[in-house]
Amino acid sequence: MNGTLFEESGIQGVMRVRLSGAGERELASLNDQMRLGMSSEEMKRVQSYFRGLGREPTDIELHSIAQAWSEHCSYKTSKPVLRRFVFPLAKRAYAVGDAGVMEFDDSHVYSLKMESHNHPSAIEPYGGAGTGIGGIVRDILCMGTKPVALADPLFFGDLDTALSELPPGDKHPKYLLAGVVGGIRDYGNRIGVPTVAGGVWFDDRYLSNCLVNAACIGFGRKDKIVGNGFRHKGNAIVIAGGLTGRDGIHGVNFASQILTAGSHESDRGAVQLGDPITKEPLINAVLQLVEEGAIDSMKDLGGGGLSAVVGEMALSGGHAAVIDIDKMPLRETGMLPWEIWVSESQERMLLSVSEKNLKHVLDVFDFWDVRASKIGRVESGSSVVVMHAGSRIVDLDTSFFVKAPEYNRPMQKRKIERPRVKPIDMLDGLNRMVERIISDINVASRDWIVHMYDYEVGGRTVVKPLQGATGTLSHGDASVLKPLRDSWSGLAIAVSSQPWISAVDPYQGAVAAVDELCRQLTAVGAKPDAVTNCLNFANPEKPGVMWEFYESVRGMADAAARMNLCLPSGNVSFYNDGEHGPILPSIALTGVGLVDDVRRSVTSDIKRDGSYLYLIGKQDNRLGCSELSRIYSTGDIDFAPVELNRLHTLSSALNRAMSEGLVLSCHDVSQGGILTGAAEMAFGGDTGVLIDTTDLGKGDIRAKLFSEAPTRWLVEVSPRNSERLQSIFGQNATLLGTTGSSKITIMEESAVKYSEEIAYLRRLWSQPLWDRMGSS
């Protein structure tokens, strides 16, 4: 490296960089040495900016730009696609910003946002997952809404991976699962926000790069919603919360590159440290100040640290900011100004407060023992200025610095090869097949995880994630919250993803994920209203991956538009790739549905003997991308695609049937098909079911029972209401059988094809995670 590019600036701790004369190789070497993570075009763009100013940059200025232009902060790859398909679907939002805000009733709103914390969790699962929760909670908070629920879609490699098969540097999926769940548990439970929904997917292709997506739902009043920009000249800029240290430096650059074997050691410093017991009082203090109207605007410090937040608040509020970096409260001594400026230390919020309210704001933080300091002021203009030791060490035009160049990266459609499919006749008989599917790790009970989350702190969780009789809880489809004491209106929350369909056809995979989400929300009695998402992909600089991304976004948007779902917030995570290869394209969705009256909520457990069990929806025996085809490696990728019109019609019809009180229990048909759905209903209600597959049409009984065709539900109805139900659904309701006994029995053409005790099947279904994870 040509060391002569750096020279003393005459200001302590700040170097000047002689950029103007640097050639291409010097720029590249500077990029590496400073770990800027920029492309050569981007370096040249920065060079010409400073040439235009007629001066050389400081090191801290280059770090500022590099942070802001990282994929993580700027969405430079995804924004053109999102702008085309997704942003138009935010129109119904009450407000957008760090989180999407939606109307709940005349005076209340709810907010929603999801974010990935994939790379930190792959390296340090406990801390990575915990700070993922911490970050998403701050996003909800800084809209002026109270965090009321968490939901977490998680994706890991195969738990049975032999240690000898583990690629160099990668951590075993068991270690990652235990660490991630532990991190969510200890952070979420400690700050008192219930984790009410989630999903876990296991596949070999997440071996090198697990996915940890965290969603938070907030609740608040319309008249208290707070913006995220610097809007008023003369306001004080206040930092509140945790101290600033060297943790998380260059976290955004680390998130914008693929993981290598070396990452596990060298990038540990890019993982931040969470502290829920600083966060809990910070939440209390901020909510009190929101209630009092004492905060003009705020934003949380996440990726890119203070640099990113000051830049984004200045840009969105149309004002300049002057920060005195020497006023920052630090955790350690000897930090250079640029390190303070880009540190991603956790539990920090930046507030814009009028001088009139400043003393009160500082007093309230003091009462809660939360550190808060004025570190700057809002000015008119369009620049971001940082002062240190009396000198100006950053002076950047806001829009140049914050608005990264965008890319329309090349795409290449993947050719789908139709493999030869192993015929179903060659597979196990029904008995053995039921047992294998019900005990498969992707179907088996999640109670090992769910019980570790406090799903009811806050006293709002009316329908819990595990449903049924005490002692025999089973999987529900969604949870329901009752956010107001004096209203019966509720919010339903569910999570979905269809990575295996996405791997074959990313457009259809995204549509299928929306279908699943709508099924789950309607299954408890909600009208699907808004969706937040994490779009997890591999390296977008590869045209095939870029195509997957584009198609997924297009599919998600088409499905959301047809279902009148608002998409007010979301997140993109690229570069999920590692030694074992890229991840499956993974659209993780967290949806919120509105419930008119929580007293009408429906759970999945069978309620009584002698009810009728109906299939709602259209039977389709195709088995592509199903649990069955994966377990038996049939190679079948011929799946039944979603028909959005049917989804729309049946969702509304199910809402109507539930509002009339016709439905005793309901469960959507998803992984493991009708048989798994019915079994989970039987487990929760500790009541058996007899299913006759004759009316499901022609075909192998195994295909009928294990097909995962979309837009289907199982509903339990009292015999006296069956006529009414059939008049609502017409051809879309098929009588499958009756409830009762202690067995699950399958009949066809008047012959018993399968019969087994619930207690036996429940054991097979409930043990797999406990057997693998023990009591860790």
Partner 1 sequence: MKLPEIRVAVLRIEGTNMAEEAAAAAGASGAAAELIHLKQLEGRCPPGLRRSLGDYHMVILPGGFSAGDYVRAGAIFASRIKSSLGQEFLRFIDDGHPVLGICNGFQVLVELGILPAGGEKGELLPKAALTTNISTRYECRPALLKNVNKGHCVFTRRIRPGGILAVPTAHAEGKMTFPPGKTDEWFARLEEMDELVFRYVDRSGAYAGYPWNPNGSVYNIAGITDETGFVLGMMPHPERTYWRYLHSDWTRAGLEGGMEGDGRQLFDSAFDYIVSKF
Query: Is residue 191 close enough to count as binding partner 1 by CB under 8 A?
Result: yes
In three-state secondary structure terms, 388 is: strand
x/- string (CB under 8 A) for partner 1, residues 156-175? --------------------
482 binds partner 1 (CB under 8 A): yes
Q: What dihedral angle (degrees, nearest 10) is formed by the CA atoms of 574, 579, 581, 584? A: -50
- Say if CB 496 and CB 482 are below 8 A apart: no
Pick the closest to residue 706 from 679, 681, 672 (CA basis). Answer: 672
Least gap, CB of 302 to partner 1 (angstroms) = 22
Closest separation between CB of residue 368 and partner 1, Å? 8
Residue 601 binds to partner 1 (criterion: CB under 8 A): yes
Among 247, 229, 454, 236, smallest CA distance to 348 is for: 247
What does residue 470 show for φ and ψ, rounded to 5 degrees? -60, 125
Least separation, in Å, of the C-beta of 686 and partner 1?
10
Q: Which is nearer to partner 1, 224 or 250 (CB)?
A: 224
Contact between 214 and 150 under an 8 Å Cβ cutoff? The reply is yes
User: Rule CB under 8 A: is residue 485 a binding residue for partner 1?
Assistant: yes
Give 130: exposed, middle or buried? Use CB within 10 Å, 0-12, 13-18, 19+.
buried
Q: Shortest gap between Cβ of 696 and partner 1 (angstroms)?
A: 28
Binding mask 313-352 for partner 1 (x = CB under 8 A): ----------------------------------------
CB-wise, 484 or 561, nearer to partner 1? 484
Chosen residue from 269, 281, 381, 544 binding partner 1 by CB under 8 A = 281
Provide the mask over 230-269, with x wherever binding to partner 1 is found by CB under 8 A and - wherever it is not. Answer: ----------------------------------------
676: contact with partner 1 by CB under 8 A: no
Of 195 and 439, the one with the shorter C-beta distance to partner 1 is: 195
Residue 363 lies near partner 1 (rule: CB under 8 A):
yes
> Do the Cβ atoms of 618 and 709 come closer than 8 Å?
yes
Please pick, from the candidates 80, 192, 329, 381, the single residue that binds partner 1 as defined by CB under 8 A.
192
Structure tokens at 775: 């009591």
For 682-747, the DSSP string reads HHHHT--EEEE-GGG-SS-HHHHHH---SS-EEEEE-GGGHHHHHHHHGGGEEEEEEE-SSEEEEE
- Of the candidate spans 27-35, 272-280, 629-637, 688-696, the one that interacts with partner 1 by CB under 8 A turns out to be 272-280
Q: Does the active-site annotation cover 72?
A: yes
Question: Going by C-beta distance under 8 Å and a sequence separation of 6 or more, which residues neighbour residue 363?
Answer: none
Residue span binding partner 1 (CB under 8 A) among the ranges 71-79, 184-192, 431-439, 615-623:
184-192
CA atoms within a 13 Å half-sphere pointing along the CA-CB vector of 772: 23
Find the binding residues for partner 1 in span 514-533 (CB under 8 A): none
Shortest Cβ 121–partner 1 spacing (Å) = 19
Closest C-alpha among 401, 242, 404 to residue 310: 401
**Cβ-proximal residues to 571 (8 Å cutoff; 6+ apart), any chain:** 113, 114, 115, 116, 213, 532, 533, 534, 535
Site size with partner 1, rule: CB under 8 A: 46
Is 220 near partner 1 (CB under 8 A)?
A: no
- Please identify which residue in the block is written with the tokens 């998130």: 255
Q: Active site residue: 72, 119, 580, 667, which one?
A: 72
Q: How far apart are CA 495 and CA 424, in angstroms?
A: 31
Nearer to partner 1, 273 or 462 (CB): 462
Distance of alpha carbon 220 from alpha carbon 491, whole angstroms = 13
Candidates 63, 108, 117, 388; catalytic one: 117
Q: Which residues within the stretch 453-472 sit at the binding site for partner 1 (CB under 8 A)?
A: 453-459, 461-464, 466-471
CB of 532 to partner 1, least distance (A): 24
Nearest Cα neighbor of 359 from 349, 375, 374 is 374
Pick 305 or 468: Cβ nearer partner 1: 468
Binding segment (CB under 8 A) for partner 1, from list 165-173, 190-198, 260-268, 610-618: 190-198
Which residue, 62 or 180, is less far from partner 1 as judged by CB? 180
**Exposed, middle or buried: residue 643 (CB in 10 Å: 0-12, 13-18, 19+)?**
middle
264 is catalytic: no
What CA–CA distances, in Å, run from 50 to 19, 46, 70, 609, 770? 8, 6, 19, 77, 59
Options 25-33, 205-213, 266-274, 364-372: segment touching partner 1 (CB under 8 A) = 364-372
Told to check if 276 binds partner 1 by CB under 8 A, we report: yes
The half-sphere exposure of 308 on its side-chain side, counting CA atoms within 13 A, is: 27
Q: Report, in Å, the least distance between residue 78 CB and partner 1.
A: 36
Determine the interface stretch with partner 1 among 244-252, 360-368, 584-592, 624-632 (rule: CB under 8 A). Answer: 360-368
Q: Is the dihedral of CA 295, 301, 302, 305 positive or negative?
A: positive
Residues forming contacts to partner 1 in the complex (CB under 8 A) are 185-186, 189-192, 276-277, 280-281, 363, 367-369, 451-459, 461-464, 466-471, 473, 482, 485, 598-599, 601-603, 605, 607, 685, 775-776
Task: Please identify every residue annotated as catalytic.
Answer: 72, 117
